[in-house]
Structure 1
Amino acid sequence: MDSARTFESIVIIFNPNSTGDAPELAEELQGKLKELLTYPVEIVLQPTEHAGHAVDLAREAAAKGGDVLVVSVSGDGGYNEVVNGVMQADNPKAVCAVMAAGNANDHRRTVGTKPLEEAIAEGHVRNIDLLRIHTGQKEGEPLEYAHSYIGFGLTPVVATELEKGSKGALTEMVSVIKTFSDFEPFEMRLPDGKRHKVDSLVFANIPEMAKYATLSEAADTPADGKFEIILFPHMPKWRVALNALRATTQGLGDQPSVSSYEFTTLKPLPFQMDGEVKNVDAGVTVKVESAHAVLPSIG
């Protein structure tokens, strides 16, 4: 249930070198909040200095304790860093929010309810699910979280291509087709010991990604303790192309919904978390699970 909240501090994190308008949007948000909020609150702008810096800034802001709101003015990747930083701080009173900036922000587009400054002024916080992934972290190393999706194989590659363009659905489809030429499937081993050759495997916490692709018919609010699995087994490329194009036009329809999924890598494997490229070694048991209602969020 939503609860009205006020904040002792609000930290707005943004990339000053963003190709988009993140610096301007961050300053604009700060100004609007100063006008709208009727209680005393410190509102700080925090520019990042390098890749991964948003994780540190968000962790430091949340670790101070108290009612703190950490806002990411960014695309999906920047928000991923802020979410992970807040989760590492282990402050149950810390709240996250995102203002879309940069290339694409599927999370904000699919779950946003109203202008962010209005939502913050109203103070209605809701707890949402995250995707938590185990990729062989050593003891003491933090686990990683995704707010929207984790993908292996073709679909994350396609998503990267889609995010490069903003000219409309036809151009997006052309980008999808071009991506197939050099793509190779990957093999994984399931807990029953069977090997499967897969073109694409995506775990989705939201129904859409990369502006046009509709992955599932899931509800817009990721707070049910489950996520959708979108799996393309290896098939002729023309069939993969049809499936991918269907995702950009009419959507893929209903997909299996689970609370956890596990497989073992047979070779080193790249994957994407909210658009950020990561890697997992061969012979690692990968486990993706729904971290139910762990992130207080606003907006």
Structure 2
Amino acid sequence: MRALLVVNPAATTTSARTRDVLIHALASEMKLEAITTEYRGHARDLARHAADSDDIDLVVALGGDGTVNEVVNGLLHAGPDPERLPRLAVVPGGSTNVFARALGLPNDAVEATGALLDALRENSERTVGMGRAEGTPGTDDEAAPARWFTFCAGLGFDAGVVGRVEQQRERGKKSTHALYLRQVMRQFLQEPNRRQGTITLERPGADPVTDLVLSIICNTSPWTYLGNRPVYAAPKASFDTGLDVVGLSRMSTVAVARYATQLLTSSPDRGPHGRHAVALHDLDQFTLHSKAPLPLQMDGDHLGLRRSVTFTGVRRALRVIV
């Protein structure tokens, strides 16, 4: 087996020594080429080359959810073709590692490498669905390229939080859960549309859902983690179904306190619920329109402002080693 290992040297929970140990462990079981990323988008470019080649069987992403997202976008650049494309494997190295943990992998890089090697020996794999988003023709976002996401996306409030966190990280702040919580509070205090949302959700064969302030799109569950605590925004979301959407039409202080408590105490059986909450399950395609440009995020990566985005749930998009 020939494999490409894409290594993010800035992965927050692995050291250079740990990465060397992992590389040697993987190389002992396969013909391995390890390449360290050097710029934003490099992992995508490497995976795209692997997808277009005829001799790479496996692409391993060593890094966080951002690295995994780039690798997936590279592998799927010409569309899903699970039987032809190289398989994907993940060694978690980020601060949260939602995609890897949602697959049931250990959150520790060394343990995950051991699990990966066991899975390869047993030829254990799973074909998972992915989400895809693109600007709707006829809007200001027509030129925005389509992009894949592995576990979540968001238009509005949560994407604004992601953007704030990225700004803080660019200033040298470490990515921690405390940093995220601080930015949630700042986003809430400065949110201009928290009492009257600007987002409308349209889907075939159903009435539109209007005046949303927050819209979270989930491709799996949990939505995220606070330390080792899973947070379930859309408990029914799965890699085996379409996309789930959770929306809020009001974000007053009382409403936010209620829904934040529901999120923090959520379970695999129940997520946020109430008069101002909207939950939609297993959607193949829908479009979010906004009266004003809003921030968009995918897999925790801030992608700028959008007025209109169409989301598609693509089932059985990629084979993953588990």
- In the TM superposition, what is the alpha-carbon distance from 1:228 to its structure 2 partner? 1.3
Q: Counterparts of 1:49-198 in structure 2 under 5 Å?
A: 49-88=38-77, 92-113=84-105, 115-136=115-136, 143-158=146-161, 164-166=175-177, 176-185=184-193, 186-191=197-202, 196-198=210-212
Output one character per residue of 1:19-45: Cα deviation in whole Å (capped at 9) or x when no partner. 43164444333322234x3xxx42011
Q: Is the 8 A contact 2:159 2:302 kept in 1?
A: no
Partner residue, 2:314: 291
* 2:43 aligned partner, one-letter code: A
Name the SS for the 1:71 alignment partner. Answer: strand
Name the SS for the 1:268 alignment partner. Answer: strand
2:236 to 218, 231, 235: 218
Name the SS for the 1:181 alignment partner. Answer: helix
TM-score by length of 2: 0.76
| Higher deviation after alignment, 82-91 or 289-298 | 82-91
Output one character per residue of 1:214-271: Cα deviation in whole Å (capped at 9) or x when no partner. 212226x5112x1211111124132123212321223452842122221323322211
| Higher deviation after alignment, 107-116 or 132-141 | 132-141
Task: State the distance in 1 between where 2:217 and 2:250 align.
Answer: 17
| Higher deviation after alignment, 257-266 or 110-119 | 110-119
Task: State the distance in 1 between where 2:95 and 2:188 align.
Answer: 22
Task: State the distance in 1 between where 2:16 and 2:286 align.
Answer: 39
Matched pairs, number: 281
Which runs of 5 or more structure 2 residues have no equivalent in the other structure?
Answer: 107-114, 166-173, 273-278
Name the CA shift for 1:143/1:173 in 2 (closer, same or farther; >3 Å): closer
- In the TM superposition, what is the alpha-carbon distance from 1:118 to its structure 2 partner? 1.9
| Higher deviation after alignment, 232-241 or 71-80 | 232-241
Name the CA shift for 1:80/1:24 in 2 (closer, same or farther; >3 Å): farther
Name the SS for the 1:72 alignment partner. Answer: strand
| Higher deviation after alignment, 267-276 or 176-185 | 176-185
Name the SS for the 1:88 alignment partner. Answer: coil
Task: State the distance in 1 between where 2:290 and 2:181 align.
Answer: 30
Name the CA shift for 1:109/1:24 in 2 (closer, same or farther; >3 Å): farther
Q: Is the 8 A contact 1:176 1:241 kept in 2?
A: no
Name the CA shift for 1:105/1:184 in 2 (closer, same or farther; >3 Å): farther
Q: Is the 8 A contact 1:173 1:248 kept in 2?
A: no
* 1:230 aligned partner, one-letter code: V
Q: Is the 8 A contact 2:47 2:59 kept in 1?
A: yes
Which runs of 5 or more structure 1 residues have no equivalent in the other structure?
Answer: 1-6
Name the SS for the 1:21 alignment partner. Answer: coil
Q: Is the 8 A contact 1:199 1:232 kept in 2?
A: yes
Task: State the distance in 2 between where 1:16 and 1:107 align.
Answer: 19
Partner residue, 1:249: 265
Name the CA shift for 1:141/1:57 in 2 (closer, same or farther; >3 Å): farther
Name the SS for the 2:158 alignment partner. Answer: helix
Name the CA shift for 1:156/1:263 in 2 (closer, same or farther; >3 Å): closer
* 2:295 aligned partner, one-letter code: P
- In the TM superposition, what is the alpha-carbon distance from 1:75 to its structure 2 partner? 1.1
TM-score by length of 1: 0.81
- Are 1:199 and 2:213 an aligned pair? yes
Name the CA shift for 1:131/1:87 in 2 (closer, same or farther; >3 Å): same
Task: State the distance in 2 between where 1:89 and 1:24 align.
Answer: 36
Name the CA shift for 1:288/1:79 in 2 (closer, same or farther; >3 Å): same
Name the CA shift for 1:22/1:211 in 2 (closer, same or farther; >3 Å): farther
Task: State the distance in 2 between where 1:265 and 1:153 align.
Answer: 9
